[in-house]
Amino acid sequence: MAVAQGVRGCLLRGPLRARPGRSCSSGAPVRQQQQALVAAPAPAHELPSTGRKGFLTEHAAPFSAFLTDSFGRRHNYLRISLTEKCNLRCQYCMPEEGVQLTPKSELLTTQEIITLARLFVKEGVDKIRLTGGEPLIRPDVVDIVGQLYKLEGLQTIAVTTNGINLARLLPRLKEAGLDAINISLDTLVPAKFEFIVRRKGFHKVMEGINKAVELGYNPVKVNCVVMRGLNEDELLDFVALTKNQPLDVRFIEYMPFDGNKWNFRKMVSYKEMLDTVRQRWPDLEKLPCEASSTAKAYKVPDFQGQISFITSMSEHFCGSCNRLRITADGNLKVCLFGNSEVSLRDHLRSGASEDELVQIIGAAVGRKKKQHAGMFNISQMKNRPMILIGG
């Protein structure tokens, strides 16, 4: 199995322990479970308590040139869409008329997902997020998490979910190695929930959030897309959720994708949201965070949780972008808002070697632009609906 160079040459064997505490307000998780390193035979002794994340950071190989673009951005975060299907029909994600689904034979198989994940991890990716569609409707999602957990060098496995199936599956997902959870929830009003997602299920989502807290996930991230005239009046109610629970409520600016009828008037900017929150909590504190974070984080003093703002439209974070995406049909997207894609599936199925795949990936990363085209230009560009990208 491919592993980070420092681990590959290491003669240690023994359990790795997670580092206690965090250095970033984003609450970036580290592995809590123990995991053994397999290496050349040698006298066994235990690694120090700095744990898996610290050990891998200290002994990491030089970052892959293939995942570094022409602007020096290192892409260590991979988002993999497991399916195009979803059990909700969110207005900002899927056109009202639905989408044409890719035939099953053209979607990545489980083995292809793991093969590509292993390749990216070998080149320097240390965080993988599973998306969709709705990833938790894929029957083998627990097995996929378990196989990803075995990849040496991978520090974080996360999932973004609508929460409908979360309470039922989370105990097994946690046991398999799931580190972090983002749950989509755009309203705290059950009737409005049905209007936004065109389905029932509000109480199941709340049950999923509560189950995540119960099982010790901290923070539990709650993604809220804010749309004018629909849910901007609930900002303060969402902030109040963080008072007694370890939640990170992330307010996301409404973004344009095919079929979601985006227009500028519907978008509530970060600064407008922040002003609304500060009127209620004037002592709101700004929190520090990692350079590559997409979120601007804040905290109400004495609240257990925090809030964040994802400012993709009003204050883009392209300069520190470290993300790549693989769609459910196997296309590599180097930018969420770009329409340029490369089919890794086709190269994989045509028998491309690992070195050839790395060259193809490197060429795509090398073509990544300095920044996206801006919200008005994006709204006129041809791109996939969000459900066919995977977030």
Q: List the structure tokens of 290.
A: 């990692």
- The model's pTM: 0.80
Could you tell me if 290 and 222 are in contact, meaning their C-beta atoms sit under 8 angstroms apart? no
Could you tell me if 209 and 163 are in contact, meaning their C-beta atoms sit under 8 angstroms apart? yes
Low-confidence ranges of the chain (pLDDT < 50): 1-30, 32-50, 52, 257-260, 262, 373-376, 378-380, 383-387, 389-390
Give the separation between CA 3 and CA 7, rounded to whole angstroms.
6
User: In the chain, which ranges are continuous DSSP H helix?
Assistant: 5-8, 51-58, 110-123, 141-149, 166-176, 190-197, 202-214, 235-240, 270-280, 344-349, 354-366, 375-380, 386-389
- pLDDT for 153: 95
- pLDDT for 210: 98
Q: Say which residue the tokens 């023994």 belong to.
A: 14
Give the pLDDT confidence of 354-368 residue by residue, as tens digits: 999 999 999 999 999
Could you tell me if 184 and 160 are in contact, meaning their C-beta atoms sit under 8 angstroms apart? yes
The answer, yes or no, to whether the previous bond of 288 is cis (omega within 30 of 0) is no
Could you tell me if 154 and 37 are in contact, meaning their C-beta atoms sit under 8 angstroms apart? no
Q: List the structure tokens of 341.
A: 């894609």
- pLDDT for 96: 67
Could you tell me if 315 and 92 are in contact, meaning their C-beta atoms sit under 8 angstroms apart? no
- pLDDT for 381: 52
Burial of 118 (0-12, 13-18, 19+ CB in 10 A): buried
Q: List the structure tokens of 291.
A: 């350079």
Q: How far is CA 110 from CA 2, 102, 104, 151, 290, in A?
A: 18, 16, 12, 15, 32
